[in-house]
Amino acid sequence: MSIIAVSDVHLGMKGAKEQEFVNFIEEAKLKGVEHLVLLGDIIDIWRRDFIKAVLECSRSLTLLNDLADKMKVHYIVGNHDFYLLRLSELLGKNFPFEVKKSTVIKSKNQEFFFFHGYQLEVLCNPYYKSMKTYETFSEQMCLAGDDTGNAADAAWKLFQSSRSILDSLKRIPENPLDALRSMMKPPEERIRNFNKHNVIEPIEELAGAETRHFLFDIHPGQHLIYGHTHHQYLKKENKVANTGSWGFGDDKKLEYIEIVNDEVMLKEFTG
């Protein structure tokens, strides 16, 4: 059995590599890949008008739609495309592929658990650990329409109108609006800046912990595959791997993971 997992392509954003992504999907089809796992933040609708983003990504979405009879497509939402979960629920069978927060695929003799990984950041957040609150925030960010850079301000107005959210926080940032604006930054700036969130090491420690099944819907013995942090790595002894990202700029590697007969391999697309 062959599985390919890719995340954090961020189609719709300036500098995203849609043509390369189209080539990537075409190559996966030619190779006869059985499962394609789109592991979140494939389309970035968190910082801009999601209607425009979907229209601009029509080539990729049409290609994915046409794959239905060739391979199983699993779309796992990330924080930057969380609203696709709502769209799939609203459209039901008319939506081209299944959208979930997580999925499990059984390979030859192993089971692999896939989720985007924002869940890890939420639990490692020093201020608040409510998954429901963060997912509500993510959905609102997808609806903010940030063509003028005002998504954080729109989200702040939303939170101000419902003070119960802020009042429930045990530790509130000195400047909540700046904290929201910091969430707009990519993981390279947000998660890895040890002077701010300082969560990259806790995230990777939690992802590989023997007790992770106490916090997430993953069973002991399953392998965890996630994205979100834009940091590709593999720790076989902990049964955990990160898909990496496609990022922006000509020099950024196009990273993904391939699983063939239980073996997890870190890959870079060069086609």
The residue assigned the tokens 């922006």 is 248
This prediction's pTM: 0.85
Contact 122, 16 (CB under 8 A): no
Contact 212, 206 (CB under 8 A): yes
What pairs with residue 4 in β-bridges? 36, 258
Contact 136, 144 (CB under 8 A): no
Is residue 149 very low, low, confident or very high in pLDDT (cuts 50, 70, 90)? very low
> Can you give the pLDDT at residue 195?
44
Q: Torsion angle of alpha carbons 41, 46, 52, 54, nearest 10°?
A: 30
Distance CA 112, CA 248 (A): 28
Could you give the residue ranges of the DSSP H alpha helices within 92-241?
118-124, 131-143, 151-161, 163-167, 176-182, 187-190, 200-207
Determine the residue type at 146: D
Residue 10 Ramachandran class (φ > 0 left, ψ -120 to 50 alpha, else beta): left
Percent of the chain with pLDDT over 70: 77
For residues 133 and 242, which has the higher predicted lDDT (pLDDT)? Answer: 242
Contact 146, 50 (CB under 8 A): no
Contact 218, 112 (CB under 8 A): no
pLDDT in tens, 164-221: 554 554 444 555 555 555 565 666 666 655 444 567 889 999 999 999 999 999 999 9
Chain mean pLDDT for the chain: 82
Q: How far is CA 39 from CA 81, 90, 100, 154, in A?
A: 10, 21, 10, 27
Looking at the domain that runs over 2-119+198-269, which CATH code has it been given? 3.60.21.10
Contact 96, 64 (CB under 8 A): yes
Give 141: exposed, middle or buried? Use CB within 10 Å, 0-12, 13-18, 19+: buried
Cα angle: 92, vertex 98, 101; to 5 degrees: 110
**Which tokens in the block code for residue 114?**
């896939």
Least confident interval from 62-66, 196-200, 221-225? 196-200
- Collect all residues with Cβ–Cβ distance below 8 Å to 2 and sequence separation of at least 6: 31, 32, 33, 34, 35, 258, 259, 260
Q: What is the mean pLDDT of residues 108-129?
A: 88
Is residue 234 very low, low, confident or very high in pLDDT (cuts 50, 70, 90)? very high
